[in-house]
């Protein structure tokens, strides 16, 4: 409990920072501004990433979404690498049995993050002509979203 309660301020701070980047990306439609915010967040939070793995995965998801939206240079390649890491981190969270409400809530959040990551990987596959892989990713994402309700 001490370890969990000690992580709440870190998680809340990281989530608040992610929301600022998400606003720049979706409300302002400015992936450049979002990536500048996410770079500051990355510099500040990298050393704490292991202590807040699920919020870090959430942050990385939005960072990849901003790169996908900007779509310049190696952005799609970098986004794919980030998203692969997001799926791996989320799978570690999903490995815990849902034995109490806190873990069930974390698993629910992890499934949402995973479904969005898989959907974005599917988008990248489709944009790069990997249609069969895209269908697989979209299907996996849709199955997770259906289970969530």
The token pair at 55 is: 């919020």
Domains detected in the chain: 2-148 (1.25.40)
- pLDDT, one tens digit per residue, over 79-90 is 999 999 999 999
Pick the closest to residue 105 from 31, 55, 51, 44 (CA basis): 55
Q: What is the dihedral of CA 32, 35, 36, 37, to 10 degrees?
A: 130
Dihedral sign for Cα atoms in the order 71, 77, 78, 83: positive
What is residue 4's predicted lDDT score, i.e. its pLDDT?
45
- pLDDT, one tens digit per residue, over 37-84 is 999 998 988 887 777 889 999 999 999 999 999 999 999 999 999 999
pTM of the model: 0.89
């Amino acid at each position: 409990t001490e370890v969990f309660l000690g992580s709440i301020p870190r998680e809340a701070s990281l989530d608040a920072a992610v929301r600022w980047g998400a606003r720049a990306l979706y409300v302002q439609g400015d992936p450049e501004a979002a990536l500048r915010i996410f770079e500051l967040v990355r510099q500040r939070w990298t050393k704490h990433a292991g202590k807040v793995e699920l919020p870090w995965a959430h942050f990385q998801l939005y960072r990849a979404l901003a790169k996908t939206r900007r779509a310049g240079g190696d952005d799609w390649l970098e986004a794919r690498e980030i998203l692969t890491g997001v799926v791996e981190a989320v799978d570690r969270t999903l490995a815990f049995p849902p034995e109490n409400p806190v873990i069930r809530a974390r698993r629910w959040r992890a499934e949402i993050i995973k479904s969005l990551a898989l959907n974005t990987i599917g988008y990248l596959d489709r944009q790069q002509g990997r249609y069969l892989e895209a269908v697989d990713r979209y299907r996996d994402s849709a199955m997770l979203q259906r289970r969530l309700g």
